[in-house]
Structure 1
Amino acid sequence: MSLIPTLRTERLVLRPPVVSDFPEYAALMASERAVFMGGPFDERAAWGMFASDIAMWPLYGHGALMIDVASTGQCVGQAGINHGPLFPEKELGWFLYDGHEGQGFATEAGKALRDWAFSTLGLKTLVSYFDPRNLPSMAVSARLGGMRDHGAAVPDEGDIVYRYPAPPPP
Structure 2
Amino acid sequence: MIVVPALKTERLLLRRPTFEDWPDFRDLMKSERSVYMGGPFLTVHAWGDFCQGIAQWQMFGFGSLSIEDIFTNRYVGRVEINYGPRCPEPEPGWQVFDFAEGKGYAFEAATEMRRWAFEEQKMQTLVSYIDPQNQRSQRLAEKLGAELDEKAEKQDPDDLVYRHSRRG
Q: TM-score, normalised by structure 2?
A: 0.97
* Other structure's SS at 2:129 match: strand
Partner residue of 2:16? 16
Map 1:20-169 → 2, pairs under 5 A: 20-167=20-167
Consecutive unaligned residues in structure 2, runs of 5 or more: none
C-alpha offsets along residues 111-160 of structure 1, whole Å, 9 cap, x if unaligned?
A: 00000000111110001010001001111111111111111111111000
The runs of 5 or more residues in structure 1 that have no matched partner are none
How far is the alpha carbon of 1:2 from its aligned partner?
Answer: 5.9
Counterpart CA distance in 2 for 1:147 and 1:101 is 23
- Give the C-alpha shift of residue 99 in structure 1: 1.7
- What RMSD, in angstroms, separates the aligned Cα atoms of the two structures? 1.2
Number of residue pairs matched?
A: 168
Which 4+ stretches in 1 moved above 2 angstroms?
Answer: none
Structure 2 CA distance for aligned equivalents of residues 78 and 138 of structure 1: 17
- Deviation (angstroms), 1:166: 1.3
Q: How far 1:3 moved relative to its partner?
A: 1.3
How far, CA to CA, are the matches of 2:24 and 2:101 in structure 1?
16
Percent identity of equivalent pairs = 45
Partner Cα separation in structure 2 for residue 61 and residue 33 of structure 1? 28
Single out whichever of 1-10 and 155-164 deviates more from structure 2.
1-10
Q: Report the TM-score when normalising by structure 1.
A: 0.96
- Amino acid in the other structure paired with 1:17: P
Deviation at 1:167, TM superposition (A): 3.2
